[in-house]
A and B are shown apart, each in its own frame.
Chain A
Amino acid sequence: EPEVTQTPSHQVTQMGQEVILRCVPISNHLYFYWYRQILGQKVEFLVSFYNNEISEKSEIFDDQFSVERPDGSNFTLKIRSTKLEDSAMYFCASSRGGNTEAFFGQGTRLTVV
């Protein structure tokens, strides 16, 4: 069964450093998303991407965040200057259509120290 894959599974970074989280969505999907989940809390929407551009972003997704789909298969989330409060599990998701089920990757646990 096709799945969304994310790398790395765990990243530890120093405050102020840049990190890039990588995702390979399911190949025939058109919508791509990043969500994050702080330990023990709900899943929060960060950004959606469709037709090679950002469709919507949340208040969390400030100027420190950016997304790219550099080569038609990868989908990346960059955090330019990490803060302690960026520590969370980051999930990539994709869906075939705009109103269909979302498939989530296994997540990247980001720890900022």
Chain B
Amino acid sequence: GQQVMQIPQYQHVQEGEDFTTYCNSSTTLSNIQWYKQRPGGHPVFLIQLVKSGEVKKQKRLTFQFGEAKKNSSLHITATQTTDVGTYFCAAVDTGTASKLTFGTGTRLQVTL
């Protein structure tokens, strides 16, 4: 089945440093979504990318979809302690179910 891997597994940064997580799929993706899960919380939708090479920004967060639609990245500029959590990419199955195949996740820890 489809495999979605993320690197790194874990990153610890000082507040103000940048952070990037990379998402790679074993198959070409139709769409990709990104979710954030705070410690002890549930996944919360951040964004969906659809087009090859697409770049979207949300304040300090920049999301990219690769040209071949097999990879994606999330970059956070000048991290804050509120960015702490696990970031998951999720491949969207555009068949009937539209299930999400989640990536392995990157846990971000930010300290002062």
Which residues of the partner chain A approach B85 to less than 8 Å between Cβ atoms? none
Interchain CB contact under 8 A, A44 and B96: no
Residues of A within 8 A of B97 (CB): 31, 48, 50, 55-56, 98
Q: Chain A residues with Cβ under 8 A from B48's Cβ?
A: 100-101
Q: Does A19 contact B (CB under 8 A)?
A: no
A99 interface neighbour in B41, B42, B98, B105, Cβ under 8 Å: B98
Interface size on B, residues (CB 8 A): 25
Q: Which residues of A contact B99 (CB under 8 A)?
A: 33, 45, 48, 56
Question: Would you call B96 and A103 a contact (CB within 8 A)?
Answer: no
Q: Chain A interface residue count: which class?
A: 20 to 34
| Residues A31 and B98 in contact, CB atoms below 8 Å apart | yes
A92, B31: Cα distance in complex, Å:
21
Chain A residue contacts of B68, Cβ below 8 A: none
B88 proximal to A (CB < 8 A): yes
B16 within 8 A of A: no
- Complex: how many Å from CA A107 to CA B8? 26
- Give chain A nearest CB distance to B35 CB in angstroms: 8
Q: Does B104 contact A (CB under 8 A)?
A: yes
Contact partner of A43 among B31, B88, B93, B98, CB < 8 A?
B88
Residues B98 and A98 in contact, CB atoms below 8 Å apart: yes
- When the two chains form their complex, are residues B98 and A107 in contact, meaning their CB atoms are under 8 A apart? no
The A-contacting residues of B in range 45-66, CB under 8 angstroms, are: 45, 48
Question: What CA separation (Å) do A98 and B97 show in the bound complex?
Answer: 7
Given contacts A56-B97, A103-B45, contact A42 B33 (CB under 8 A): no
B94 & A99 in contact (Cβ 8 Å cutoff): yes
Interface residues of A in 84-113 (CB under 8 A from B): 91, 95, 97-107
Chain A to chain B contacts (Cβ below 8 Å), 14 pairs = A42-B105, A43-B88, A43-B100, A48-B97, A48-B99, A50-B97, A56-B95, A56-B96, A91-B43, A99-B98, A101-B33, A102-B33, A104-B42, A104-B43
- A-side interface residues toward B, CB under 8 Å? 31, 33, 35, 42-45, 48, 50, 55-56, 91, 95, 97-107
